[in-house]
Structure 1
Amino acid sequence: MPTQVTFPSHGRLMTKLTALGPYLRQQQSSDGHFFFDCLASCINAKKEPEEREFWGWWLELTQSEGGFQYHYYFGRYDIHGDWLEDKVPAKHLEPVQQTLEDFYQKLSTLLEQEYALPIHPAPDLSAPTLSVSA
């Protein structure tokens, strides 16, 4: 007989997920769906702060029947505040990948150890092969 999965309330999850660091975008999250991102590497640090763009990642976590599933993407955060899926150049690749790996470790530890809720890739997620532009 399958074990009944108990999810914490949306408010409790928001509090715990916010505590993981500066990743959760509360305005883009809703009950059962959470949006995280990270501006890992500045593209143009010499520009004024409001004109800067970043390389990074975003991850969408969705409640599923037995836990959570996720999609994640790599790309560029533009001056309009939008994410554009894009190839991350070689000189920015390491910090982008490292911050995602670090975040995922914290996220999975929280969900699996504190709440006994497994986290899995979404069924339609194919492991992205990162391309390095010259």
Structure 2
Amino acid sequence: MSDVIKHPTHYRLLSALKAMGPYLREPQSSEGYYLFDCLSSCVNDKKSPEEREFWGWWLELEQAEGGFAAKYYIGRYNLAGDWEAQNIPKKAVSEVNRTQEDFHKKLVETLKSKFSLKVNMHKESVEFV
């Protein structure tokens, strides 16, 4: 018998996803849908911390056949605490791409090794270069 869980519960998935780091937005997640985000690069670090906005990415991970579909977005995390989909400036692109790539590798490996689940990119996902 394998140690791999074929049909993990929502709570087992949450536990594994939380262990990956600070990316999971647990309050906005629900069974079959998990929200992640990453504030990769400060828009203007000369502002005081409570007035800072960030460039970054967010991910809607939805249950799909045999695993999950990953739908990434890029944009600005504004002062209101909301994401706005928009192009990011060239100076922030490499850091946003690096954090997204590192996270995605960790996500794929975690779901594969613990649960034998695949992660496929959603057809509407932003492509990182």
Q: Provide TM-score, normalisation by structure 2.
A: 0.90
Does the residue aligned with 1:71 lie in a helix, a strand or coil? strand
> In 2, distance between residues paired with 1:129 and 1:38?
14
Aligned-pair CA distance for 1:66? 1.5
Q: Provide TM-score, normalisation by structure 1.
A: 0.87
Does the residue aligned with 2:87 lie in a helix, a strand or coil? coil
Aligned-pair CA distance for 1:64? 1.2
CA deviation digits over 1:7-28, x for unaligned, max 9?
Answer: 2111111111011111000011
> In 2, distance between residues paired with 1:8 and 1:83?
30
> In 1, distance between residues paired with 2:71 and 2:6?
22
Q: 1:25-36 maps to which residues of 2 (within 5 A)?
A: 25-36=25-36
Q: 1:81-92 maps to which residues of 2 (within 5 A)?
A: 81-92=81-92
Aligned-pair CA distance for 1:6? 3.0
Residue type matched to 1:47 in 2? K
Name the Cα RMSD after superposition.
1.6
CA 1:41 to 1:106, structure 2 compared with 1: closer, same or farther past 3 Å? same
> In 1, distance between residues paired with 2:116 and 2:125?
25
Q: 1:86-101 maps to which residues of 2 (within 5 A)?
A: 86-101=86-101
CA 1:53 to 1:80, structure 2 compared with 1: closer, same or farther past 3 Å? same
Query: Percentage identity across aligned positions?
Result: 50
Is 1:49–2:49 an aligned residue pair?
yes
Count of paired positions: 125
The answer to whether the Cα contact below 8 Å between 2:57 and 2:74 also exists between their aligned partners in 1 is yes
CA deviation digits over 1:24-79, x for unaligned, max 9?
Answer: 00011001100000000001112121210000000110111211111001100000
The residue aligned with 2:127 is: 128
Higher RCO, 1 vs 2 (CA within 8 Å, ≥6 residues apart): 2
